[in-house]
Chain A
Amino acid sequence: MISYDTNVLIYAFESDNQWSAAARKIVEVGEREGAVLSVLAWQEILAGAALRSTEAEAKQRAILDQFMITRFVPVTEAIANKAVALTRRFGRKAKGYDAILLATAIEQGADTFWTNDKILLELKLPNLNIRSL
């Protein structure tokens, strides 16, 4: 099972860019074989759209409703604790949303986390392969 960052979702849904094809493939694999994302990724992409316009938010919300297999997981106490452990280990490189997204992937058993975030790509975790597009 895979997990991925909010930036992958945006690359997939926004107009074509150099990362679109790779991002769309990841989202598609997630829909066929299983993907787990933090509900915070869901919130981030909607917040980004909401800052632009209510129409953009409504459109993005309708798109997110089309996910069938990909799960957006709430922040549980176990995930929060794992996030704290990541912050303890990596300091400012893994805190806040970053830590929650990674902790969600680990806690839910994902083996790969896809992102194009330079800070997250510096992290090395034993049970989660953090990869760029």
Chain B
Amino acid sequence: MKTTDKQVYVLKISPQGQLTLPKRLRQQLKVDKGSRVTIRASSDKKQLEVSTDLPITKYFGTMGRAITGGRDAAEYIREMRDEDNRQRGRKLGR
């Protein structure tokens, strides 16, 4: 393993395809045994970005009111389901 001031780590992949994060990096990332990290490949597949953030969290709150139009989600989904059930009932002649 070689490190530079830029905190770039050169790691060797084991025969089992595993990478070991150096202790210093684990400490910096605050990860330990059992922690999950996200590894994302760049579009040209030449770079890997390791992150402790979950990709999905970046999208929290980003849909505005685009799904329910500002209504309460539980009530909105309940109405959708009840409507589906009613339409199914009509098709069955009930």
Interface residues of A (CB under 8 A from B): 5-8, 10-17, 19-20, 24, 27-28, 31-32, 44-45, 47-49, 52-53, 56, 59-60, 63, 66-70, 95-98, 115-119
Is B66 a contact partner of A56 (Cβ separation < 8 A)?
Answer: yes
For the complex of A and B, list the 6 residue pairs with the smallest distance between their C-beta atoms, beginning with the closest: A10-B73, A116-B74, A56-B66, A7-B73, A48-B67, A7-B74
- CB proximity of B67 to chain A, nearest CB, Å: 4
User: Complex: how many Å from CA A85 to CA B35?
Assistant: 38
Query: Is B57 on the interface with A (CB-CB < 8 A)?
Result: yes
Taken residue by residue from 50 to 92, chain B's Cβ proximity to chain A (1 for < 8 Å, 0 otherwise) reads as 0000111111111111111100111011101100110010000
Is B65 a contact partner of A14 (Cβ separation < 8 A)?
Answer: yes
Is A20 a contact partner of B69 (Cβ separation < 8 A)?
Answer: no
B88 contacts across to A, CB distance below 8 A: 96
Question: Chain B, interface size: which category?
Answer: 20 to 34
Is A60 a contact partner of B63 (Cβ separation < 8 A)?
Answer: yes
Q: Is the interface of A mostly helix, strand, loop or mixed?
A: helix
Asked whether A14 and B81 contact (CB < 8 A) given A28-B57, A116-B74, the answer is no
In the complex, the chain B residue whose C-beta lies closest to that of A13 is: B63
Interface residues of B (CB under 8 A from A): 36, 38, 54-69, 72-74, 76-78, 80-81, 84-85, 88
Is A13 a contact partner of B74 (Cβ separation < 8 A)?
Answer: no
A12 contacts across to B, CB distance below 8 A: 60-61
In the complex, the chain A residue whose C-beta lies closest to that of B38 is: A68
Is B64 a contact partner of A14 (Cβ separation < 8 A)?
Answer: yes
User: Complex: how many Å from CA A15 to CA B67?
Assistant: 10
A5 contacts across to B, CB distance below 8 A: 74, 77
A66 contacts across to B, CB distance below 8 A: 55-56, 58-59
Is B57 a contact partner of A14 (Cβ separation < 8 A)?
Answer: no
Other A-B pairs beyond A68-B38, A68-B56, 16, CB < 8 Å: A6-B77, A10-B76, A14-B61, A14-B65, A15-B63, A15-B64, A20-B60, A20-B61, A47-B80, A48-B67, A48-B68, A48-B76, A53-B66, A63-B63, A68-B54, A98-B81
